[in-house]
Amino acid sequence: MAPDNDTPSPHVFVIFGATGDLARRKLFPGLYRLAAASRLPDDYAIIGSGRHSPGSDEEFRDKIRESLTEFVDDLDDSIADDVLGRLTFCVSDADDGADLAEAVDSALDDLGEGAEKLIYLSVPPTAMEPMIGMLGREGVADDARLVIEKPFGTDLSSSRELDATLKDVVSEDQVFRIDHFLGKEAVQNILALRFANGLIEPAWNRDHVVSVQVDIPEELTAEGRGSFYESTGAFRDMITTHLCQVMGFVALEPPVTLDPTALRNEKSKVFAAMRPLDPERVVFGQYEGYRDEEDVDPDSEVETFVALEAWVDTERWQGVPFYLRTGKALGATRRTITLTFRTPPMGRFGDDAYGPNELVLELTDSPTVSVDLYAKRPGPTMALTTSTLHLEVAEDDPQDEPLEAYERLLLDVMKGDQTLFTRSDEVDRLWQICQPVLDSRPPTQPYAQGSWGPDDAVALPGSRGWRLPDA
């Protein structure tokens, strides 16, 4: 993860699902921003692909220009023209990829020796395996880097089937399982905060910490994503990926280096030490009004909210509960990690009840770190007052251009850096951990929009409660 400003080799970018929502909102704007920051190769081609033609190449470019106009601030027309001028579309599906293979080979020939392939599969889970099979049969996947989107399967069995299909076509070092949450600067800053500060790392363990919370609530509803939620739910969408991965960063042991192998080895050890989830300590919820959303079953029991208790049985974390919470239509949109520390004997300060110290990391677009401390209240008595040390972590480095999550991850794929991507053994172990909840689903409890979830979830951490909402 060391800084690396080298220009990538010439690339052919092949984007499946090129007319879909993710491509429109994130992938094409991301490629534009990389071009604007001079992060793309000097020579490259972009081939969009899908089952249905958007019209001529010029009509396709016009559609993507509309997306850039909508999702990019201060669009530079000359840069947009250059990116769009390299863009073409080729129809393909799981049964027929011959034309696509020919288009990719032609683009590689045009770019010359040393050109590489980056294939981005932004397709529904049901289409993933057939598309990978086609890429193998047509030779498109040969020597390519293959980016696949979550969910990586829908349960342990399907995940293993997907992994077997991948192994039939490509090697593990060609696979980049993307979790855009790990591309956020604030998430990566967990590592810097822990391992670059002698004040913090010595207290980052069970001797000093009594609980850890990873809390990612959203105010938005599932509006416009009803069909996705009906097939996936919050547990598969968020817990088996984003929240567990963030938990892995919090709980891992110090790696010898921050290279991809060392870091992912330590994260994998965390997941190996996690207990399978206890369905009795998992709460599912569904916000009132979800069943009225478009493409949602009027009798749906799909969860839009999850809260759970997890345990990591390493020497560092034995006996420390990890509480994970996420959901739609909640009281705020936050990405908060809270470490609650043990309370020292406070009797010497009188009979007043004093809460514990907390270290709070806000993983937002404007990351902050805060620590709640006690100090003497001014006056003649030894009374205490709460003070907060607050650190704002600058997103804009004057020595570098800040990158959004997808841009950072696309750049890492071009460079072959797998640090922030999920390895197959991690995926398999996380499904083992989560499978008991799928086998014995908790009942789905209703909760009011704008609340913090069902009452059982609010009570899950016990008397200490959740950090959010802020006191």
CATH number of the domain to which 203 belongs: 3.30.360.10
Whole-angstrom Cα distance, residue 447 to residue 391?
34
Q: Classify residue 91: in a domain, yes or no.
A: yes
5-33: burial string, b at 16+ Cβ within 10 Å, e else: eeebbbbbbbbbbbbbebbbebbbbbbbb
Of 185-194, 284-293, 385-394, 442-451, which gets the smallest average pLDDT?
385-394
pLDDT of residue 397 exceeding 80, the answer is: no
22 is in an annotated binding site: yes
Q: Classify residue 311: in a domain, yes or no.
A: yes
Beta bridge partners of 306: 284, 326
For residues 87 and 36, state if they share a domain: yes
19 is in an annotated binding site: yes
Confidence of residue 464 (pLDDT cuts 50, 70, 90): confident
Residue 121 is part of which domain span? 11-149
For residues 434 and 324, state if they share a domain: yes
For residues 207 and 130, state if they share a domain: no
Domain boundary among the residues 88, 122, 149 is at 149
* CATH code: domain of residue 86: 3.40.50.720
Q: What is the mean pLDDT of residues 378-403?
A: 72
21 is in an annotated binding site: yes
Whole-angstrom Cα distance, residue 22 to residue 422?
20
132 phi and psi angles, rounded to 5 deg: -65, -40
For residues 134 and 246, state if they share a domain: no
Output the pLDDT for position 301: 98
Q: Classify residue 333: in a domain, yes or no.
A: yes
150 is in an annotated binding site: yes
- Residue 215 corresponds to which amino acid? D
Model's pTM, two decimal places?
0.91
Whole-angstrom Cα distance, residue 465 to residue 370?
19
Output the pLDDT for position 349: 66
Domain boundary among the residues 149, 173, 204 is at 149
For residues 91 and 238, state if they share a domain: no
Q: Classify residue 226: in a domain, yes or no.
A: yes
Q: Are 19 and 55 in contact, with CB atoms under 8 Å apart?
A: no
- Count of domains forming the chain: 2
234 is in an annotated binding site: no
18 is in an annotated binding site: yes
For residues 252 and 200, state if they share a domain: yes
Output the pLDDT for position 426: 96
Catalytic residues: 242
Confidence of residue 351 (pLDDT cuts 50, 70, 90): low
Q: Classify residue 424: in a domain, yes or no.
A: yes
Q: What is the mean pLDDT of residues 38-45?
A: 96
User: Which of 121, 110, 185, 186 is closest to 149 using CA atoms?
Assistant: 121
For residues 437 and 288, state if they share a domain: yes
For residues 126 and 204, state if they share a domain: no
Output the pLDDT for position 352: 61
180 is in an annotated binding site: yes
Output the pLDDT for position 2: 41
Output the pLDDT for position 126: 85
Output the pLDDT for position 386: 81
Beta bridge partners of 359: 339, 371
Q: Classify residue 29: in a domain, yes or no.
A: yes
CB atoms within 10 A of CB 167: 12
Output the pLDDT for position 462: 93
Beta bridge partners of 215: 325, 336
192 is in an annotated binding site: no
Tell me the percentage of the chain whose pLDDT exceeds 70: 95
Q: Classify residue 175: in a domain, yes or no.
A: no
pLDDT of residue 362 exceeding 60, the answer is: yes
304 is in an annotated binding site: no
- pLDDT mean across residues, the chain: 92
For residues 74 and 192, state if they share a domain: no
Taking only the tens place, the pLDDT of each residue in 66-120 is 999 999 999 999 999 999 999 999 999 999 999 999 999 999 999 999 999 999 9
Q: Classify residue 155: in a domain, yes or no.
A: no
For residues 114 and 197, state if they share a domain: no
For residues 263 and 371, state if they share a domain: yes
For residues 198 and 335, state if they share a domain: yes
Output the pLDDT for position 295: 95
DSSP state of 449: T
Q: Are 318 and 302 in contact, with CB atoms under 8 Å apart?
A: no
